[in-house]
Structure 1
Amino acid sequence: MTAPTAPALVLLHTSAAHVPVFDALRDRNHPGAVLRHLVVPELLDRARAEGPRAVAPAVLDVLAAARAGDEAGSGAGSGPVLVTCSTIGATAEALAPLLGAPVLRVDRPMAAAAVRAGARIAVLATVESTLAPTAELLAEEAGGRPVSIRTHLVDGAWERFAAGDGPGSLELVAAAADAVTGADVIVLAQVSMTGAADLVTTRIPVLSSPGEGLAEGLRQVAVP
Structure 2
Amino acid sequence: MTLTLIHTAEAHRATFDRLRESIAPGTALHHVVREDWLARAQGGIDDDLAREITEAIAAADGPVLCSCTTLGPVAETAGALRIDQPMMREAAQSGGRVLMVYCLQSTEAPSLSLLRREMDRAGNDSGIELLFLGQYWPLFEAGRTEDFAVAIATTVREATADRDDLGAVVLAQASMATAAERLTDLNTPVLASPELALRAALARITPA
* Structure 2 segments unaligned to the other structure (5+ residues): none
**What is the match of residue 109 of structure 2?**
132
- Rounded to whole Å, the distance in 2 between the matches of 1:53 and 1:120 is 34
- Rounded to whole Å, the distance in 2 between the matches of 1:83 and 1:47 is 14
- Rounded to whole Å, the distance in 1 between the matches of 2:90 and 2:172 is 13
- Rounded to whole Å, the distance in 1 between the matches of 2:54 and 2:134 is 32
TM-score by length of 2: 0.89
Q: Which runs of 4+ in 1 moved over 4 A?
A: none
1:184, CA displacement in angstroms?
Answer: 2.0
1:157, CA displacement in angstroms?
Answer: 1.6
**What is the match of residue 63 of structure 1?**
57
**What is the match of residue 177 of structure 2?**
194
**What is the match of residue 163 of structure 1?**
142
- Rounded to whole Å, the distance in 2 between the matches of 1:113 and 1:61 is 30
- Rounded to whole Å, the distance in 2 between the matches of 1:52 and 1:179 is 34
Cα gap change, 1:213 to 1:171, in 2 (>3 Å): same
Q: CA RMSD in A?
A: 1.6
- Rounded to whole Å, the distance in 2 between the matches of 1:57 and 1:191 is 24
Q: Which amino acid aligns with 2:73?
A: A
Q: Which amino acid aligns with 1:46?
A: R
1:143, CA displacement in angstroms?
Answer: 2.7
1:133, CA displacement in angstroms?
Answer: 1.1
Cα gap change, 1:120 to 1:52, in 2 (>3 Å): farther
1:58, CA displacement in angstroms?
Answer: 2.3
**What is the match of residue 26 of structure 1?**
20
**What is the match of residue 179 of structure 1?**
158
- Rounded to whole Å, the distance in 1 between the matches of 2:14 and 2:198 is 13
Please, which of 62, 72, 92 is the counterpart of residue 115 of structure 1? 92
- Rounded to whole Å, the distance in 2 between the matches of 1:139 and 1:53 is 24
Q: How does 1:42-81 map to 2 (within 5 A)?
A: 42-48=36-42, 50-52=43-45, 55-64=49-58, 66-67=59-60, 76=61, 79-81=62-64
Q: Which amino acid aligns with 1:184?
A: G
1:53, CA displacement in angstroms?
Answer: 5.3
Please, which of 95, 106, 129 is the counterpart of residue 83 of structure 2? 106
Q: How does 1:2-13 map to 2 (within 5 A)?
A: 7-13=1-7
- Rounded to whole Å, the distance in 2 between the matches of 1:52 and 1:147 is 31
- Rounded to whole Å, the distance in 1 between the matches of 2:188 and 2:70 is 25
**What is the match of residue 220 of structure 1?**
204
- Rounded to whole Å, the distance in 1 between the matches of 2:126 and 2:52 is 34
TM-score by length of 1: 0.83
Q: Deviations over 1:54-90 (max 9, x none)?
A: 53122123334x43xxxxxxxx3xx211000011111
Q: Deviations over 1:28-71 (max 9, x none)?
A: 111121100000011111111x214553122123334x43xxxx
Cα gap change, 1:134 to 1:157, in 2 (>3 Å): same
Q: Which amino acid aligns with 1:148?
A: G
Is contact 1:44–1:87 with CA below 8 Å preserved after alignment?
yes
Is contact 2:139–2:148 with CA below 8 Å preserved after alignment?
yes
Q: Counterpart of 2:6 in 1: which secondary structure?
A: strand
- Rounded to whole Å, the distance in 2 between the matches of 1:90 and 1:155 is 21
Q: Deviations over 1:156-177 (max 9, x none)?
A: 2210000111111111110121
Q: Counterpart of 1:31 in 2: which secondary structure?
A: coil
